[in-house]
Structure 1
Amino acid sequence: MILVADSGSTKTDWGIISDDGSTRYFSTSGYNPFFMGADSIGEAMADEIGAYLDPTAVRQVFFYGAGCQGAQISNMERALRQVFTEAAAIQVSVDLLAAAKALLGDGPGFAAILGTGTNTCLYDGSGITFHIDSLGFLLGDEGSGAAIGKRILMDFLRNQMDGVVRRAFERMHTLDEATLLERVYASTHPNRYCASFTRFLDEPEAAGDYRKRIVGEAFQDFFGKLVCLYPGYRSLTFNCVGSIGYHFSDLLKIAAENRGMKVGLILPKVIEKLTFYHHLH
């Protein structure tokens, strides 16, 4: 049995390739080694995985995850070995490589992630050749769910929502301003917490002009402060995976075209194409 995983800060999608070549999928919570230690990841993963498969039956693991870079790769490998004790091979890579493989296969191009966080790269058909760091939740992640959520919270806390939108927000989130601030700063995963507020933009009162302004400005930042720093970006096709990019694809396409980039694939998640990639390889 081969196990393929694409893990973000919020959710992990898993693909199983059985010995007969059949595939199936399931999801668990996210595991980010920047926010969790190896032991806590291993414990959480073991608790969730057992409902879907026998970990001792897994022979190969290809794990792609947010935060799986540098020293964090060995931490994630240690966590995985606590769970998949019989696996002959465990390979850990950054989630950005999973996005590139799913979006581009064996061909070169530009790939991006727009989910709870943000990431971008150039890919040559086998590996990442150029990468500009998104700088994470505190310093960057422009265009991400966390960044959009922060914009919504800033508008609410600074009284920048018009009356109709504000009343809709207060109806959906029965939190006073002091409690809201406390939860942002006390949260174990503030990026996830902020990103959760993007759901407000589906409310009828917020789904028109307010949605266009908030998300449009976030995507302008994403292109202006990140994508446009890539050399020759106008000659590249914009390919993206992630819940935010997919959910707001109408505004994302406008932002890309305004910067002179053609739009290619925009996928909600990578796991099916990523599993197919490993099935072929």
Structure 2
Amino acid sequence: MILIADSGSTKTDWCLLDSARKGRYFITEGYNPYFCDEQYIINSIKANLPGEIDRLGITAVHFYGAGCQDDKVVVMEGILRSVFSNCEQITAEVDLLAAARGLLGNKPGFAAILGTGTNTCIYDGNRIINNVDSLGFILGDEGSGAAIGKRILRDYLRNKMPESVKRAFYNTYELKPADIIHKIYGEPLANRFCASFTRFLKHPEVDPNYGHQLVKSSFTEFFHNLVSCYPDYNKYTFNCIGSVSYHFAAILEEVLNDFQMEPGRILPSLIAELVSFHAVA
């Protein structure tokens, strides 16, 4: 049996392929080795695997994850060996390669992630050949759910929201300024906490103009600081995976037009595409 995973910082999409290539899909929380320690990830995977799945019967694991790069690849592969101890083949690779494979298959092009975090690349049909570092939650990740969430929280804390929006925010979350500061600076997974507020912009009491301008400004930063750094970026179509790009696709297309880049595939999830990729590999 083959287990395939596409993990962001918030959630992981899994599929178990049996010998007949029939898939069993399920979801767990996200596992980013930069934000979660090894034992936490091991315990969470074991606790959240569906009960009918026999961990000892899995022969191959293909894990794509946010943060699975450099020395963290070895860390994640070690974690997976602890969980799937009989597995013959375990590979951990960065989620950006999953995005490129899922969105483009074996064709060259531009691929991006706009979810809790952000990433971008040029793909030659086999491997990533150019990647402008997103710099992560603290220094970068422009356009991501975490970046949008930080903007919402700053506006709330600095009284920059329209009064009706601020009232809706407090009525929805009942968070005082001290609560927010503690969540971000005193607890783990601050990126996930910030990203959770993107859904607030869909709240019926939120002024659509406020939400539109906030998201468009964040996407414009994403294109200015990341996408447009690639030579001849606008000769490619813009292909992207992630809940943020999918749910704010109309605003994203406005920014694409501003930067003279044609839209390509915009998907909320990649797991079905990755299953197809590995099923024929």
- Shorter-chain TM range is over 0.9
| Partner residue, 2:193 | 193
Cα gap change, 1:175 to 1:39, in 2 (>3 Å): closer
1:247 deviates by 0.7
Q: 1:82-97 maps to which residues of 2 (within 5 A)?
A: 82-97=82-97
Is the partner of 1:264 in helix, strand or coil?
A: strand
- State the partner residue of 1:28: 28
Matched residue count: 281
User: Hey, what does 1:76 align to over in structure 2?
Assistant: 76
Q: 1:206 maps to what in 2?
A: 206
| One-letter code aligned to 1:59 | T
CA distance in 2, matches of 1:5, 1:30: 10
- Superposition deviation, residue 34 in structure 1: 1.0
What letter matches 2:131 in structure 1? H
Match of 1:117 in 2: 117
Question: What is the identity, as a one-letter code, of the residue corresponding to 2:128?
Answer: I
- The Cα of 1:205 is off from its aligned counterpart by 2.2
In structure 2, the residue matched to 1:255 is: 255
| Contact kept? 1:141, 1:147, Cα under 8 Å | yes
Quick check: 2:107–2:124 contact (8 Å CA) kept in 1? yes
Deviation at 1:95, TM superposition (A): 0.4
For residues 87-119 of structure 1, the C-alpha deviation after alignment (integer angstroms, 9 at most, x for no partner) is 110011000000000000000000000000000
Alignment partners' CA distance in 2, 1:182 and 1:41: 23
The whole-number CA distance in structure 1 between the counterparts of 2:52 and 2:230 is: 41
Gaps in structure 2 of 5+ consecutive residues: none
Counterpart Cα distance in 1 of 2:25 and 2:162: 43
Conservation of the 8 A alpha-carbon contact between 1:15 and 1:23? yes
Contact residue 102 and residue 274 of structure 1 kept, 8 A: yes
Task: Give the structure-1-normalised TM-score.
Answer: 0.98
Distance 1:255 1:54 in 2: 46
Mark the CA change 1:241 to 1:20 in structure 2 (over 3 Å): closer, same or farther. same
Shift in Å at residue 234 of structure 1? 1.1
Separation (CA, whole Å) in 2 of partners of 1:62 and 1:96 = 14
Q: Is the 8 A contact 2:6 2:12 kept in 1?
A: yes
- In structure 2, the partner of 1:152 is 152
Matches within 5 A, 1:230-241: 230-241=230-241
| Counterpart contact for 2:122–2:129, Cα < 8 Å | yes
Identity across matched positions, percent: 49
Contact kept, 8 Å, 1:26 with 1:52, in 2: the verdict is no
Deviates more, 1:163-172 or 1:216-225: 163-172
Residues in 2 aligned to 1:164 and 1:39: alpha-carbon distance in whole angstroms: 44
Structure 2 residue identity aligned to 1:194: C
Shift of 1:187: 2.3
RMSD value, Cα: 1.0
How far is 1:52 from its partner? 4.9
What is the Cα deviation at residue 79 of structure 1? 0.4
Q: Give 1:7's aligned residue.
A: 7
Q: TM-score, normalised by structure 2?
A: 0.98
Once residues 84 and 179 of structure 1 are traced to their aligned partners in structure 2, the CA distance between those partners, rounded to angstroms, is 39
Look up the equivalent residue of 2:156 and give its one-letter code: F
Q: Distance in 2 between matches of 1:277 and 1:11?
A: 21
Q: How far apart in 2 are the matches of 1:105 and 1:58?
A: 25
Match of 2:165 in 1: 165
Q: For the residues of structure 2 that align with 1:37 and 1:182, how far apart are their CA atoms?
A: 20
SS in structure 2 of the partner of residue 196 of structure 1: helix
What's the CA shift for 1:56? Answer: 0.7
